[in-house]
Structure 1
């Protein structure tokens, strides 16, 4: 039996004393949306995080996702491999709309896609994740107001949906093994699993 991988709502809450804010940390395969004045935090290697918000009322959210490695296999249909990223993006947008965001007001900031996974320099999963996110947002006509993509470093991203403030720290001096191992484990789960159902975008 093939286990389904559902995008999970992040549940690792804490208080960030340095930034004086309630916060939630997102791991690979997680998302979070909020209408509160709080902080969303994640650490990215080859994964991508889309920070999407309603520019008028500040309702916003973040996801943390990657495409499975087999999306570089030309024998696999594009729509079959891209469904993982599509699902991650659609569930984030739908949850924002359910919370009260208006689709016409949505804007995005996109981060990650670093080439940090050892042995994947040829396929460069990070670049493919970044390209997918930008293409998806363009198709859905969601304006990208900022981006920090590709390169070779892991990133730590702090997103304040209410104010649209984002802080990005490139982890140039930090050993990236933890990030790489976490993302490789996530990638293996994707390879062995089905996407957790189809999601249709609200209009």
Structure 2
């Protein structure tokens, strides 16, 4: 079953036929985690780098921010049987959709993600980030395959 992960949203699954998908990954980060032994995976579509930007919003919706969303994503998969030490972690997005910009959200999102993962003794195994295009990301729960569509190209992470 196709399960859509919206902006500032997260889904986890252990159902063999499920496909998690998120659309319109511009400066946002799409993050997948997968445990092959447990057959459990999840996806996060986070918009902002750090919950300290707006602590009240992070309490309302932790998936809006990378730091709080990552913790919820890992916890959700662990509750379904995944083990933190077996997680395969992949990311897409973090584009610079405008040619110039003071905030550089895509760049900040990627830095925040790698920093948050490092703080948890985790690392990305693969990623497709940067550039100026919007991406679609899919996670196949049956085998952990992650596909990214970027400007008409399909990339397997």
TM-score interval (norm. to shorter) = 0.7 to 0.9
Counterpart of 1:137?
A: 117
Secondary structure, in 3 states, of the residue corresponding to 2:27? coil
Would you say the 8 A contact 1:107–1:142 is kept in 2?
Answer: no
Unaligned runs of 5+ residues in structure 1 are: 1-21, 72-78, 173-203
Counterpart of 1:64?
A: 45
**Per-residue deviation, residues 69-128 of structure 1 (Å, max 9, x unmatched):** xx7xxxxxxx72396321111111111111111122112001110112x48623210111
Instruction: Work out the CA distance in 1 between the residues paired with 2:100 and 2:141.
Output: 33
Question: RMSD value over aligned CA atoms?
Answer: 2.2
Larger radius of gyration: 1
Q: TM-score, normalization: structure 2?
A: 0.81
Which runs of structure 1 show a deviation greater than 3 angstroms over 4 or more consecutive aligned residues?
none
Is 2:2 aligned against 1:30? no
Counterpart of 1:99?
A: 80
Is 2:102 aligned against 1:122? yes
Aligned length in residues? 142
Q: TM-score, normalization: structure 1?
A: 0.64
Counterpart of 1:81?
A: 53
Counterpart of 2:26?
A: 45
Is 2:142 aligned against 1:162? yes
Unaligned runs of 5+ residues in structure 2 are: 59-64, 153-157
Counterpart of 2:133?
A: 153
Instruction: Work out the CA distance in 1 between the residues paired with 2:87 and 2:138.
Output: 19
**Per-residue deviation, residues 37-65 of structure 1 (Å, max 9, x unmatched):** 21111121110011011132220000001
Would you say the 8 A contact 1:33–1:59 is kept in 2?
Answer: yes
Secondary structure, in 3 states, of the residue corresponding to 2:124? strand
Would you say the 8 A contact 2:114–2:123 is kept in 1?
Answer: no
